Amino acid sequence: MPAETTATPDPADLPGERWADAVLALLLLAIDPPGIGLALHAAAGPVRDRWLALLRQQLGAGTPLHRLPLHIRDDRLLGGLDLTATLQAGRPVAQRGLLADSHGGLLLLAMAERLDSGTVARLAAAMDRGVVVAERDGVALSHPARFGVVALDESESPPPGLGPGLGPDEALPAALRDRLALLLDLGPVPPRLALDSDDAFLMSPAELAAARQRHVALQVPDALLHALCTAAAALGVDSPRACLQALCVARAHAALHEQDEVLAEDMAVAARLVLAPRATRLPAAPPPDQPEDAAAPEEPPPADPADPAEPPPEPEDAAPPPADEAPDVPPDADDELPDLPPGALDELVLQAALAALPPDLLASLKASQAGQAARQAARAAGVSGALQKAGKRGRPVGVRRGEPRAGQRLNVIETLRAAVPWQKLRRRGEAPVPGAPRRVEVRADDFHVTQLRQRRETTTLFAVDASGSAAVQRLAEAKGAVELLLADCYVRRDKVAVLAFRGRAAELLLPPTRSLVRAKRALSGLPGGGGTPLAAGIDALAVQAAAARRRGDTAVAVLLTDGRANVALDGTGGRARAEADALAAARRLRALGAAVLVIDTSPQPSPQAARVAEAAAAVYLPLPYAGAQALSRAVRAAADGSGRGV
């Protein structure tokens, strides 16, 4: 049995607890790599490097440890055609993939939170089946692939109680996180604590081999399995994989301590390490105890001992059977557990998981659910436009069969890969020429082109109500909000345009530009006063949005107004006609499919502005008491959450 990892840390010593759990997880992972995966939330630094060094030292040379690159190709991941060997040999030569090479060992995923969905899907399929299958490029491969996964999560620190990778920023993919038993966070661990720890707790190669042998033969009592599932249901853990993973952890913990069967203490450790980070609710409180004088209705009244006619009934199984009639059945594993009252095992496992929960779990979960839209907006911040397919430039996102037309790039490697399996058929009937170089016959059907994707440029259009009513109320605040939004657009390299409407018409103060100085100068010189030609302002906004769309840009239209139109589209007065023209212009803007935001700058929410927003299918933001900072935050969040879809 290996030496104790560390002294039991004080419950208030969070760094000591985290490092002790990380050391224990390292040992459990070494005993059962395929059954126990691990997500390690830690930034690159001495703490993570120390843990990885201890893991490599514990595994030794007998357990393979491979690193999965972030942008790995499918042929390297799953296996496929070895193009270099195929061209040299003149026949298809297959190569094993990284998943097959990791059989029986560990696969290290760096920056796992950034893995693309395709790689995660292939990785999850191999983890579920234990086999990797590749049928492509004229070769068919099937290799065993039972391996463990260590996912290094470098996202920002998660909120308390949600475990690693569940924070508001980049997160581990759900399909990968669900298949990893242990979720650890080394963020609170100081470097000195990790670097000063020795390696006396590591198992020798002989001890590791013996622990793995014991792990295979361990028995688990049914009562402990029931207690584990009960605890998972009480904590709101919905995934059935969590119970199976906790069972693997309990078996590995029992094997680590040289036991012949899994005990309640092992299951409690598994519940603390596996179930607690996945908890989504606290268990329901038990019903209050009944008073002593409340007798149960089903209990019969006690028999009178003085009455010989009614002797107390004896249970049917009170007398043991004769020795010669006793069935020859081995004792059940449940009989070997200590005598505990009913439900005590369930309570023991559940309390072990509850001990690892932070006190503010419910508050964290509530804030996480309520702020889901805000998290999506935060992830979209800094993105300058929607993704679109491109032909000549952009980021490679895949390969497809086709001829290189309209500036598309020919992918030579994939073209050769598609042509190689057909060389024997294409050379049939040709006499070989001695000394001639071997050539690959490529036909048009073999051509593959690289698919590129780039982001559109974003043009943010600001239409500011500079009429007399707006000037009296909040024109200064609207100018301040627009200036803050202009600075934000400059950081994201967006183009901005500023329009103003007052008097009888709308005016383009600044065409689309990236110059922050010009935008601020045009806005600061904007006077206020006159009527409210809202219909003209909306039409001018629609014209600029359509022009941005023709240029291939993503347009976001922001309308700051109180909605009180009093100048019709032809320049004549009349509130009823002006409001009708404004609603008609809003419907025309809606027909463009633009992402529109209507900021109601009235002291109180204006029904006129709400009707304009409804007609334009816009996001309506009534901000009666907001200052420039609040306006800026609201517009930025709404713009990012809208998808910027023009």
CB 165 within 8 A of CB 183: yes
> Residue 560 is inside which H or E element, if any?
strand 554-561
pLDDT bin (cut points 50, 70, 90) of residue 207 is: very high
Quote the mean pLDDT of the chain: 75
Residue at token pair 């203490």: 265
Higher-scoring residue by pLDDT: 355, 368:
355
The pLDDT score that the predictor gives to residue 345 is 64
Asked whether the CA dihedral 587, 592, 593, 598 is positive or negative, the reply is: negative
pLDDT given for residue 332 in this prediction: 43
Tokens of 283: 């268990």
pLDDT band at 179 (very low <50, low <70, confident <90, very high): very high
Instruction: Write down the pLDDT at residue 147.
Output: 93
3-state helix, strand, coil in the chain (%, to 5): 45, 15, 40
CA–CA gap between residue 586 and residue 592 (Å, rounded): 10
d(CA 273, CA 622): 47
Give residue 606's pLDDT band: very low, low, confident or very high (50, 70, 90).
confident
Residue with the bigger pLDDT between 58 and 405: it is 58
Q: pLDDT per residue over 330-352, tens digit each?
A: 444 444 444 555 456 667 777 76
Give residue-wise pLDDT tens across range 473-516: 566 666 676 777 777 776 767 778 888 888 888 888 888 877 77
Q: Note whether 459 and 554 are within 8 A (CB).
A: yes
Q: How confident is the model at residue 646 (pLDDT cuts 50, 70, 90)?
A: very low
Q: Using alpha carbons, list the distances in angstroms from residue 123 to 145, 184, 242.
A: 10, 21, 18
What's the whole-number mean pLDDT along residues 294-305? Answer: 46
**Mean of pLDDT values over 152-163:** 59
Task: Compute the distance between CA of residue 556 and CA of residue 494 in angstroms, rounded to an integer.
Answer: 10
- Contacts with 242 (C-beta within 8 Å, 6 or more apart), sequence order: 232, 274, 275, 278
Residue 218 region, left (φ>0) first, then alpha (ψ -120 to 50), else beta?
beta
Domains of the chain (ranges, CATH numbers): 14-217 (3.40.50.300), 223-280+341-370 (1.10.8), 390-426+442-455 (no CATH), 458-641 (3.40.50.410)
Provide the 10 A C-beta neighbour count for residue 645. Answer: 11
